[in-house]
Amino acid sequence: MKLHPFGPLFPVSTLTLGGGGLGMLWGPTTFEECVATVHAAVAAGINLLDLAPRYGDGQAERVVGEAFGGRLPRGVHVTSKCNLGNPEPERVYPVLRQSIETSLRLLQRDKLDIFFLHSNLVADKHPMWNARDVSRLTSRSLFRSHVRPAFERLKTDGLISAWGLTGIGHPDAIIEALAEDPKPAAVQCIANLLDSPGGLKFFDGPAKPRAVVAAARANGVGVMGIRAVQAGALTAAIDRVLPPDHPEVLDYGLARGFRSLCADLGEDPAMMAHRYALGLSIDTLVLGVKNRAELAACVAAAEAGPLPPELVARIDASVARG
């Protein structure tokens, strides 16, 4: 599998193995199948495993810990994340450190290669703070005063090699953070043909993922594309039961024209969605697979490469972006 420059970090493989499927969030699988999928991913040339303790209450990190007994193959890297929220300033460093220590215990390791702030970064007086549940929000002022310094301290402590942002908060706040020093080493950005975060979106207005990617590029920050199939909305069928008003179900409806185009072409929507995402300005695409069969299809999509421009144009014309 090809390697690509990745901001200030190590060369990264075209694909990254994500932890959502390994944590059994995206439909049924087994622990044993997830371990086998990790081994198959590394054998295919994937050199980055993107995890979090929230993926299946630690299940994804246990899978990787079991797969390698804490000894990752040479050149393979691992991430984790923390949904910090907006605690009192003095709690920031302890909460982040506790999350890292939990991940390291499950992974059977002593250091993370990248640690991501998984909260939604939001301006202090934004209307998002009026929501009933703000537990997934981190204010820009707290980020500047305590979160970013805590990340730098965790690097000095030797617990992480680098830190990054999950780019699902308010786009204006993320774009601002990407331009400030010290910068994150990497950012995770929505990368799908709907430009949709789906159920990860907690604000009104456009998500502007391509603007976030452009800002990362302008500031030398590595870009990880996420949600290529928008949690199943861009596949032939969503593989789990969701209420009819769920964002993923609504996106599935918006993608009706895309599925019709894929049927006319005799192509699998999931493979086409992955190839579309691979054509965006990203360094690596994070997979949400839960078994070796899904992994193999994604590896085949990477080998086939990005879609030709004329087909991208037809896909763009087939969907209504939010």
- Give the separation between CA 78 and CA 110, rounded to whole angstroms: 11
- Residue 24 has what pLDDT? 78
What is the average pLDDT across 16-33?
A: 88
- Residue 57 has what pLDDT? 83
> Per residue in 39-76, is it b (16+ CB within 10 Å) or e — as a string?
ebbbebebbbbbbbbbbbebbbbbbbbbbbeeebeeeb
- Residue 322 has what pLDDT? 58
pLDDT level of residue 321 (50, 70, 90 thresholds): confident
Class (C level, CATH) for 3-318: alpha beta
Looking at the DSSP bridge assignments, the partners of residue 3 are: 13
What is the average pLDDT across 183-201?
A: 96
What is the average pLDDT across 186-212?
A: 96
What is the average pLDDT across 105-120?
A: 97
Asked whether the beta carbons of 298 and 225 are under 8 A apart, the reply is no
- Residue 320 has what pLDDT? 77
25, pLDDT greater than 80: no
**29-76 tens-digit pLDDT:** 999 999 999 999 999 999 999 999 988 788 999 999 999 999 999 999
Q: Are strands 114-117 and 77-82 parallel, antiparallel or unpaired?
A: parallel
- Give the separation between CA 221 and CA 193, rounded to whole angstroms: 22
- Residue 239 has what pLDDT? 79
**205-243 tens-digit pLDDT:** 999 999 999 999 999 999 999 999 998 999 999 878 899
pLDDT level of residue 141 (50, 70, 90 thresholds): very high
- Give the separation between CA 2 and CA 119, rounded to whole angstroms: 31
pTM of the model: 0.96
